């Protein structure tokens, strides 16, 4: 059986931001959805910076079909609507399931295995 990766991407604009509340809600979702071990990626960068210059680009390159990406909410991907759509388009093409903790209606699981 293939092992699917689950990466939680946490982004904040300033180093004063505390990720503990986000970590707790992400872990709760991961347990509820049985997503397995969570790998954590934390980044301090402006949401207006091009996503290709942030760690999300590396995550998207590494994740494969069936893997999972957990975010606190869609705005953690980018503050730009166009960039969010571009990122989500890539996850859809690669069949990566995306879970937005604060916006479950925007989460999507493209794989019917769960």
- Give the three-class secondary structure for 97: strand
User: What CATH topology corresponds to 6-106?
Assistant: Rossmann fold (3.40.50)
pLDDT confidence bin for 63, thresholds 50/70/90 = very high
Cβ atoms 44, 54 nearer than 8 A: no
Q: Is the pLDDT of residue 105 over 70?
A: no
pLDDT for 69: 97
- The tens digit of pLDDT for each residue in 6-27 reads 999 999 888 777 889 999 999 9
- The tens digit of pLDDT for each residue in 72-81 reads 988 899 888 8
Neighbours of 81 (CB within 10 A): 10
pLDDT for 111: 52
Residues 49-70 have a mean pLDDT of 95
Cα gap 98→109, rounded to integer Å: 6
Polymer length in residues for the chain: 114
């Amino acid at each position: 059986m293939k092992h699917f990766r689950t990466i939680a991407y946490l982004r904040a604009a300033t180093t004063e931001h505390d990720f503990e509340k986000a970590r707790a809600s992400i872990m709760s979702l991961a347990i509820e959805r049985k997503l397995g071990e969570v790998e954590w990626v934390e980044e301090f960068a402006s949401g207006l910076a091009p996503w290709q210059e942030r760690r999300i680009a590396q995550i998207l390159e590494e994740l494969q079909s069936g893997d999972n990406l957990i975010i606190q909410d869609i705005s953690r991907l980018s503050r730009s609507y166009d960039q969010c759509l571009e990122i989500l388009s890539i996850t859809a093409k690669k069949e990566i399931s995306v879970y937005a903790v604060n916006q479950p209606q925007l989460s999507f699981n493209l794989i019917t295995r769960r």
